[in-house]
Amino acid sequence: MIENCCCKTYSISDVKQYKEHMLQKEIKPTIDKREILCAETVPGPNAFVVFGASGDLVGRKLLVSIFQLFARDLLDDRFYLLGCGRKKFSDLDFRKKAEQSIREKSDLISPNNLDAFLSKLYYVDGDYNDSNFYERIKARLAELDKIHKVYEGLVHYLSVPPFLYPTIVENLAPAGLACTKKLHSKQHIKLVIEKPFGKDLPSAVELNNKIHRCFNESQIYRIDHYLGKETVQNILMFRFANTMFEPVWNRNYIDHIQITIAESSGVDHRASYYDKSGALRDMFQNHMLQMLALVAMESPISFEGDHIRDEKVKLLRSIRAFDVNKLDELCVRGQYIYSQIKGSKVNGYLEESGVRANSKTETFIAAKMFIDNWRWKGVPFYLRTGKRMAVKETEIAITFKKVPYSMFSSVGLDELPANVLVLRIQPEEGISLSFQAKRPGAKTCMSTLTMNFSYNELFETEPPEAYQRLLLDCMAGDQTLFTRQDAIETAWRLLSPIMQAWENDEYALYEYPAGAESFPAADNLIESDGRKWRQLLKA
């Protein structure tokens, strides 16, 4: 007989059930008040020009994030922002729009800092295809530079539909707002563009070529908001600032890695865009591959932007190409259908407003990938992302190999659970590590303990919005968290075989009910290897 730590007895035949219900105990972390390093770079004066300033993203994210930086004294006093858009706004109209967004989203408001920030906002309206619009922008910038004494930095932020990127860039140059050599006053000019960076390899190459006519790569900031999240940034420090992890971060000790981005929402107001994109283009090509690169790349020679980005590109180039003859064994796509969630009816994807009636666009993708290099040879990476899933959750889970031999087999514990390290990215950012340990009580009394680190609980504050980090780095000229041209094109090249096969309708598009955690075809992708997806449903 085996006695457990609750003083109940189990026969050896009951051990399997006992192991499945082992009590998990969380070990709460503490923080050493002696900070090793805590440094922030405050950028110099910048004129921040936002195209698409009357749009939704600018209101929800951009203006709020820039205000937060201002409220934290991380912007130069001479900073100002010029909004540009098609909608006819006065400076006052634009400031009222900004104030409404900031009051709804920000918790750092005081009468003084809000009024001071709003006074730095200006607006000019016009048609993006009209060359005179850019001349008026140039004249307004010259006027505002004199008022705010900004003579060094100019940032162009394109918060517009991707088809407008070339139009705006090609009009900036003749107006003297792009090519540094044409400007006599401003020496640091930057261009920020939102994803998608093309829709496939040819379009990405074409877009890069057009932008490079007047901006060199050192001036281009391709923004991926996932890379601004604290836990994603923490991957570098977690891996390369601790000697305890690097020796086991390889094929000798790691069994497999899972990367999951599950979204509980549907396509909402993005249906017209999403139906032309799908999960592969919208999430997989950028967010997921960038996280894969960070968790698997080699150590850079220094904490500098291009050194880090060099290693990310090397990693992406090491990913094994998808074999089109075995694609159904490596990749699964799905589309959510009508269901009920907590008693409420939820439309299927084809019933969403703005979606084509016969659409084959995938809302879910799961893939099995391998990295052909010395560190990762033979280790599978399982990636999945989907809309209308059971929960909203993003995580990277590193599952280590099980102990090769259990000395506890004589009492029925012939196989012990694997250690799992989880990097939680959303909704609650943090890190957890599970391992086995003896519990007080019986001679053989073991359970899984979890060391759990939560940013919210430990630091008693919400991590900064990802856009804050990225916008600050952009103004400071730090490209570490921004995607480089070669990384973009390598990612598209890797996914081209999948896109071509799906466009030719050669592989099944599975259905899954809205609110599901998974579905059989996606499960089979990992279970055929004797593994399982991590459960996302919360207790």
Q: Is residue 201 classed as helix, strand or coil in its secondary structure?
A: helix
Q: For residue 351, what are its two tokens?
A: 């019933």
Counted residue by residue, the chain has a size of: 539
User: How far is it, in rounded angstroms, from Cα 438 to Cα 75?
Assistant: 52
Which residue carries 């943090």 as its tokens? Answer: 430
Question: Residue 89 in contact with residue 55, Cβ under 8 Å?
Answer: no
User: How far is it, in rounded angstroms, from Cα 468 to Cα 229?
Assistant: 10
Alpha-carbon torsion (200, 202, 206, 208), positive or negative: positive
Which residue carries 């979606």 as its tokens? Answer: 355
Which residue carries 């050493």 as its tokens? Answer: 32
User: How far is it, in rounded angstroms, from Cα 169 to Cα 82?
Assistant: 17
Q: For residue 268, what are its two tokens?
A: 């909402």
Question: Residue 92 in contact with residue 123, Cβ under 8 Å?
Answer: no
User: How far is it, in rounded angstroms, from Cα 122 to Cα 389?
Assistant: 41
- Distances in Å between the Cα of 402 and the Cα atoms of 26, 254, 406, 422 are 21, 9, 9, 16
Give CA angle at 384 (383, 388), nearest 5°.
165
Question: Residue 379 in contact with residue 398, Cβ under 8 Å?
Answer: no
> CB count, 10 Å around CB of 312?
23
Max Cα–Cα distance, the chain, nearest Å: 87
- Amino acid of residue 243: T
> CB count, 10 Å around CB of 362?
25
Residue ranges with strand state E in 52-144: 80-85, 121-125
**Crossing angle of helices 91-105 and 63-71, rounded to 10°:** 70
Question: Residue 171 in contact with residue 158, Cβ under 8 Å?
Answer: no
- Distances in Å between the Cα of 276 and the Cα atoms of 104, 283, 530 are 32, 13, 35
Residue 287 falls in the annotated catalytic set: yes
User: How far is it, in rounded angstroms, from Cα 19 to Cα 7?
Assistant: 16
If we measure between CA atoms, which residue out of 350, 371, 370 comes closest to residue 360?
A: 350
Considering the candidates 148, 156, 287, 307, report the single residue annotated as catalytic. Answer: 287
Active site residues: 287
